[in-house]
Structure 1
Amino acid sequence: MGLYTLQSMAGIYIHIPFCKQACHYCDFHFSTSLKYKDELLHALVKEIRLQKNYLDNETVETIYFGGGTPSLLDASEINLLINAVTELHTVSSDAEITLEANPDDLNDAKLKGLRQTDVNRFSIGIQSFFDDDLLWMNRAHRSKDGEASVKRAQDAGFENITADLIYGYPLLTDTKWKQNMDMMFELSIPHISAYSITVEPQTALAAFINKNKQPPMNEQQSAAQFTMLMEAMADHDFEHYEISNFCKPGHYSRHNSNYWQGVKYLGIGPSAHSYNGDTRQWNIASNPQYIQRIETGQLPAETETLTEENRLNEYIMTSIRTMWGLNLDKLNSIASASASQLLIAAQRYFDNGWIIQKDNILYLTPAGKLYADNIAAGLFF
Structure 2
Amino acid sequence: MAGIYIHIPFCKQACHYCDFHFSTSLKYKDELLQALVKEIRLQKNYLNNETIETIYFGGGTPSLLEADEINRLLNTITELHTVSSTAEITLEANPDDLDDAKIKSLRQTDVNRFSIGIQSFFDDDLLWMNRAHRSRHAEASVKRAQDAGFENITADLIYGYPLLTDTKWKQNLDKLFELDIPHVSAYSMTVEPQTALAVLINKNKQPPMNDQQSAAQFTVLMQAMADHDFEHYEISNFCKPGHYSRHNSNYWQGVKYLGIGPSAHSYNGEARQWNVANNAKYIQGIETGKLPAETETLTQENRLNEYIMTSIRTMWGLDLNRLNSIAQASADELLIAARRYFDNGWITKKDDVLYLTHTGKLYADNIAAGLFF
State TM-score, norm by structure 2.
Answer: 1.00
Q: Say yes or no: does 1:280 pair with 2:272.
A: yes
Paired with 1:332 and 1:362, the residues of 2 have a C-alpha distance of: 15
Q: Say yes or no: does 1:194 pair with 2:189.
A: no
What is aligned with 1:81? 73
Q: Secondary structure at the match of 1:324?
A: coil
Paired with 1:276 and 1:313, the residues of 2 have a C-alpha distance of: 17
Q: Say yes or no: does 1:268 pair with 2:260.
A: yes
Paired with 2:147 and 2:73, the residues of 1 have a C-alpha distance of: 26
Amino acid at match of 2:236: S
Aligned pair partner of 1:133 in 125, 137, 155: 125
Superposed CA offset, 1:175-202 (max 9, x none): 0000000000000000000000000001
Q: Which runs of 5+ in 2 are unaligned?
A: none
Amino acid at match of 2:274: W
Q: Secondary structure at the match of 2:331?
A: helix
Paired with 1:201 and 1:273, the residues of 2 have a C-alpha distance of: 21
Q: Secondary structure at the match of 1:323?
A: coil
Paired with 2:199 and 2:143, the residues of 1 have a C-alpha distance of: 36
Aligned pair partner of 1:104 in 96, 103, 119: 96
State TM-score, norm by structure 1.
Answer: 0.98
Paired with 2:329 and 2:81, the residues of 1 have a C-alpha distance of: 38
Paired with 2:287 and 2:329, the residues of 1 have a C-alpha distance of: 48
Paired with 1:54 and 1:289, the residues of 2 have a C-alpha distance of: 21
TM-fit CA distance, 1:334: 1.0
Q: Secondary structure at the match of 1:366?
A: coil
Q: Secondary structure at the match of 2:259?
A: strand
Amino acid at match of 2:214: S
Amino acid at match of 1:180: N
Paired with 2:293 and 2:341, the residues of 1 have a C-alpha distance of: 39
Q: Secondary structure at the match of 2:63?
A: helix
Q: Secondary structure at the match of 2:24?
A: coil
TM-fit CA distance, 1:338: 2.6
What is aligned with 1:357? 349
What is aligned with 2:293? 301
Extract structure 1 runs of 4+ deviating beyond 6 A. Answer: none
Superposed CA offset, 1:16-69 (max 9, x none): 000000000000000000000000000000000000000000000000000000
Amino acid at match of 1:163: A
Paired with 1:59 and 1:37, the residues of 2 have a C-alpha distance of: 29
What is aligned with 1:240? 232
Spell out the pairing of 1:170-209 with structure 2 (5 A cutoff): 170-209=162-201
Paired with 1:133 and 1:337, the residues of 2 have a C-alpha distance of: 47
Paired with 1:81 and 1:338, the residues of 2 have a C-alpha distance of: 44
What is aligned with 1:6? none
Superposed CA offset, 1:45-100 (max 9, x none): 00000000000000000000000000000100000000010000000000000000
What is aligned with 2:359? 367
Paired with 2:322 and 2:288, the residues of 1 have a C-alpha distance of: 42
Q: Secondary structure at the match of 2:359?
A: helix
What is aligned with 1:228? 220
TM-fit CA distance, 1:332: 1.5
The alignment's C-alpha RMSD in Å is 0.4
TM-fit CA distance, 1:336: 1.9
What is aligned with 1:13? 5
Paired with 2:366 and 2:80, the residues of 1 have a C-alpha distance of: 41
What is aligned with 1:22? 14
Amino acid at match of 1:137: M
Paired with 2:330 and 2:262, the residues of 1 have a C-alpha distance of: 36
Paired with 1:338 and 1:72, the residues of 2 have a C-alpha distance of: 49
Amino acid at match of 1:100: E
Q: Say yes or no: does 1:61 pair with 2:61.
A: no
TM-fit CA distance, 1:337: 3.7
What is aligned with 1:121? 113
Q: Secondary structure at the match of 1:141?
A: coil
Aligned pair partner of 1:341 in 325, 333, 336: 333
Superposed CA offset, 1:311-351 (max 9, x none): 00000010000000000011111122431111111000000
Q: Secondary structure at the match of 1:180?
A: helix
Aligned pair partner of 1:39 in 10, 31, 44: 31
Amino acid at match of 2:361: K
Q: Which runs of 5+ in 1 are unaligned?
A: 1-8
Aligned pair partner of 1:215 in 202, 207, 227: 207
Percent of aligned pairs with the same amino acid = 87
Paired with 1:15 and 1:339, the residues of 2 have a C-alpha distance of: 38
Amino acid at match of 2:88: E
Paired with 2:197 and 2:323, the residues of 1 have a C-alpha distance of: 39
How many residues align structurally? Answer: 373
Paired with 1:168 and 1:215, the residues of 2 have a C-alpha distance of: 12
Paired with 1:96 and 1:12, the residues of 2 have a C-alpha distance of: 11
